[in-house]
Amino acid sequence: MDNFKIDALVINRNLKAVTDRLIDQLKASNFFRTVGVVDGASRNDEISKYTVVRSEAPAVQAFGLRINRGYNLAISWWTSQSTPSDYLLLLPNDTELVEMKVNELFDSLDKKFPVAAIVPLPTHSPYKEILPNGRIGIGWHFNEGPIILSKDFILQQQKCGKEVFDPDNFRGYLSFIDLALRIYTNHFCMIGTALISFNENESHLQNHHDLIVTEEASRNADLLLKEGRAWLAQKYGLTDGISLENLVRLSFEEFMRQNPKLIHWKIR
Amino acid sequence: MKDLSRFESLYSSMRDERITMLGVGPMSKRIVEETILLANQLKFPIALIPSRRQIECHDLGGGYVESWSTEEFVKFVRDRDYGNYVILSRDHSGPWQFKMFDDAQQVISHESAMEEAKISLAVDIELDFDILHLDPSLGLNLGRSELGVQEDLIELYSFCFGRRGGQSITYEVGADEQSMVPDLPSIAEEKFQKIANQLKSQNLPLPKFYVLQTGTKVKETRNIGSFSTHIPVKDMLSPSFQIPEILKICEKFGILLKEHNADYLPDESLRWHRLFGIPAANVAPEFGVAETRSLLKIAGETKENWFIELFGERVISKKRWEKWLMPGSAATDRDKIEIAGHYHFADEEIKEAIYKLESKIRSKSFDLDKILRKSIRESIDRYLRYFGYYG
């Protein structure tokens, strides 16, 4: 395959050294055509030299971008480039890459799947035990983290006038479930893979939450649920997350019924 | 001879309406009585699910609940269950499930433990239990291999099925320990396929119920499994992904999922039982804890502190709460008393103390029995409501 099928953008807020280390690792892999940083109003001495786009809006200065708005800013910048690649890898800067078999991933995908998103799995993900061939599988329920999006899906969403990630879901509550609903109802699919794998370095959130301008971990979890439920009620009129998950599961099942040839790739 | 079609038709009407059958741990005499009343009022089956430690046959010495033997317990239930709505469902019958150690504190041999399990099961069959859960999984903690445990299961199944009356029993199997996360679907399928193959080779039918992990785990007075969480947990798959897949596997084999350890699940998780279509779920310690809390509360409110002290000393000193504590637990003495109080309701000294308390507070216009029954009923009722027993 062409090594330069994919670009990568990392979200940073006030963690220049950590971000630059991750960028250097991505660059050294030689898998990416463009590698850059999306900055959420970092203070001047914490802006990465690899920064390609910044937001300094007052709300971003006060609260940061967080995952959904950060990813949206990255997508917006990426699609405005003259020749974006076929895929875009988005990563929070607390990602520590463990496995990077990018060529094998794209070889495995071939033309079989109408891919909207590929979710690299964390090293301890239980999905790894049940992934078909231990490599890739089709699923619908993935936790938030790094994600690869296909240009086809991004452009389809932009045609609808939608941002890929809901900016009103500030903390990203069930963000990938919300995304999966649009993926499967638009006849795309979502892939989980062990061919690219990572760890989330939680020490940044634990030790530097004041620098990143976020809340400490347990407060963050409380707010994720509280604000997330408010978002869920407002957007869908649902009172609990499992209702949304069930809706997505049914859309996924319908997709699988319509694509029986893909059944062997189903994660189960 | 039990009328099997009655059980099957009662149960199938529940399945038609997608009602989750509740299994209630008989933690006390009052809990047993309230369960019988509720089942008959609602005219839907509720299962009583005695473990061997709770209720055991006379020849093996009886259990800790009301010091009942299996014979006495079954008579007590059948005499009061006028509409025949109570399902008697033995929970976790297998080697070492009654006693792990002998009088010299040595682990009971495999041979003896299997022999005792068979004595217990034979009485259950003779007394027309509706469901027998065969669970030899404690052997895994005592050096038995997974294969050895599977062999024990087949031996017990074959023993029961070969006895007179054993062919009309509904069987439940599942040799898993409770886990914070549900079983991975394809791995659960592999495990059951192995059991199915072994049963087939012995000309034994598939069981009706299969115990699989749905992400429920009870510690202290909480459910700490993934089924009770409402935010994604790192390294855990969501029950909304796994449970529907597990249910599909059960459907493929023509068996039914039985959930264990559903205690203390939040209302939302209970609501999802019916919507997912979980056929049956067991709840036990929560009801005993509800009764104990109510007992302590009324003793406190009526300033009968002598009772709290006496009861508390007994519960704390006997240490039945130990197995329920989280590692590094911050549980207070009061928490421990609430966790394990119900183990001691039948201790002679405690029984007398409860009678004394009842009589003393009656003079202050409190009806202890009524208060305790109300708390038990409310606790059971929460499950019945969400499992679809009402309307």
pLDDT by residue, tens only, chain A of 268 residues:
455 689 999 999 999 999 999 999 999 999 999 999 999 989 999 999 999 999 988 988 888 888 999 999 999 999 999 888 999 999 999 999 999 999 999 999 877 889 999 999 999 888 888 898 878 999 999 999 999 999 999 999 999 999 999 999 999 999 999 999 999 999 999 999 999 999 887 776 667 666 666 777 778 888 999 999 999 999 999 988 889 999 999 999 999 999 999 999 999 8
Q: Which residues of chain A are within 8 Å of residue B236 when distances are taken between CB atoms?
A: 126
B385: in domain: no
pTM assigned to the model: 0.86
Q: Please determine, for residue B231, whether its predicted confidence score (pLDDT) is greater than 80.
A: no
pLDDT, greater one: B14 or B284: B284
User: B183 and B161, same structural domain?
Assistant: yes
Number of domains within chain B: 2
pLDDT category of residue B175 using cuts at 50, 70 and 90 = low
> How many cross-chain Cβ pairs, A to B, lie less than 8 Å apart?
55
ipTM beyond cut 0.85: no
Mean pLDDT of B21-45: 97
Mean pLDDT of B108-122: 97
User: B131 and B63, same structural domain?
Assistant: yes
Task: Single out the residue in B259, B285, B311 at which a domain terminates.
Answer: B285
Predicted pLDDT of residue A64? 85
pLDDT category of residue B176 using cuts at 50, 70 and 90 = low
Domain hosting residue B211, numbered range: 4-285
Predicted pLDDT of residue A3? 53
CB nearest A143 (choices: B185, B186, B232): B232
Interface contact flag, B184 A130, Cβ < 8 Å: yes
Predicted pLDDT of residue B162? 96
Residue in chain B lying closest to A177 (CA): B232
B179: in domain: yes
Q: What is the least distance, in Å, from the CA of B239 to any CA of chain A?
A: 9
Task: Single out the residue in B285, B304, B333 at which a domain terminates.
Answer: B285
Q: Please determine, for residue B391, whether its predicted confidence score (pLDDT) is greater than 90.
A: no
Q: Letter for the amino acid at B154?
A: I
User: B238 and B310, same structural domain?
Assistant: no
B229: in domain: yes
User: B259 and B292, same structural domain?
Assistant: no
- CATH number (domain holding residue B245): 3.20.20.70
Using beta carbons and an 8 Å cutoff, which residues of B are at the interface with A?
A: 181, 184-187, 230-232, 234-241, 244-245, 268, 272, 275
Measured distance CA(B95)–CA(B141) in Å, rounded: 12
Task: Single out the residue in B285, B320, B343 at which a domain terminates.
Answer: B285
B390: in domain: no
Q: Please determine, for residue B3, whether its predicted confidence score (pLDDT) is greater than 70.
A: no
Predicted pLDDT of residue A238? 94
Interface contact flag, B241 A141, Cβ < 8 Å: yes
Strand partners, A193: A120, A136
User: B305 and B236, same structural domain?
Assistant: no
User: B112 and B230, same structural domain?
Assistant: yes
CB nearest B231 (choices: A124, A126, A225): A225
Q: Please determine, for residue B93, whether its predicted confidence score (pLDDT) is greater than 80.
A: yes
User: B330 and B192, same structural domain?
Assistant: no
Predicted pLDDT of residue B99? 93
Q: Which residues of chain A are within 8 Å of residue B245 when distances are taken between CB atoms?
A: 268
Predicted pLDDT of residue A205? 66
Predicted pLDDT of residue B11? 85
Measured distance CA(A63)–CA(A73) in Å, rounded: 15
B389: in domain: no
Predicted pLDDT of residue B238? 81
User: B179 and B223, same structural domain?
Assistant: yes
B15: in domain: yes
B66: in domain: yes
CB nearest A126 (choices: B237, B239, B275): B237
Mean pLDDT of B173-183: 66
Mean pLDDT of B205-222: 88
A231 touching chain B per CB within 8 A: no
Predicted pLDDT of residue A231? 97
Q: Which residues of chain B are within 8 Å of residue A134 when distances are taken between CB atoms?
A: none
User: B262 and B357, same structural domain?
Assistant: no
Interface contact flag, A173 B231, Cβ < 8 Å: yes
Mean pLDDT of B137-162: 93
pLDDT category of residue B1 using cuts at 50, 70 and 90 = very low
Measured distance CA(B278)–CA(B375) in Å, rounded: 26
Share of chain B above pLDDT 90, in %: 77
Residue in chain B lying closest to A125 (CA): B235
Output the 3-class SS for chain B: CCCHHHHHHHHHHHHHCCCCEEEECCCCHHHHHHHHHHHHHHCCCEEECCCCCCCECHHHCCCCCCCCEHHHHHHHHHHHCCCCCEEEEEEEECCCCCCCECCCCCECCHHHHHHHHHHHHHHHHHCCCCEEEECCHHHHHHCCCHHHHHHHHHHHHHHHHHCCCHHHCEEEECCCCCCCCECCHHHHHHHHHHHHHHHHHCCCCCCCEEECCECCCEECCEECCHHHCCCCCCCCCCHHHHHHHHHHHHHHHCCEEEECCCCCCCHHHHHHHHHHCCCEEEECHHHHHHHHHHHHHHHHHCCCHHHHHHHHHHHHHHCCCHHHCCCCCCCCHHHHHHHHHHHHCCCHHHHHHHHHHHHHHHCCCCCHHHHHHHHHHHHHHHHHHHHCCCC
Predicted pLDDT of residue B178? 56
User: B60 and B42, same structural domain?
Assistant: yes
Predicted pLDDT of residue B241? 87
B155: in domain: yes
Predicted pLDDT of residue B179? 60
* A141 neighbors B240 (Cβ within 8 angstroms): yes
Q: Please determine, for residue B209, whether its predicted confidence score (pLDDT) is greater than 90.
A: yes
Closest to B383 in 3D by CA, of B239, B295, B292, B284: B284
User: B138 and B12, same structural domain?
Assistant: yes
Rounded to the nearest integer, the mean pLDDT of chain B is 92
Interface contact flag, B236 A249, Cβ < 8 Å: no
User: B131 and B13, same structural domain?
Assistant: yes
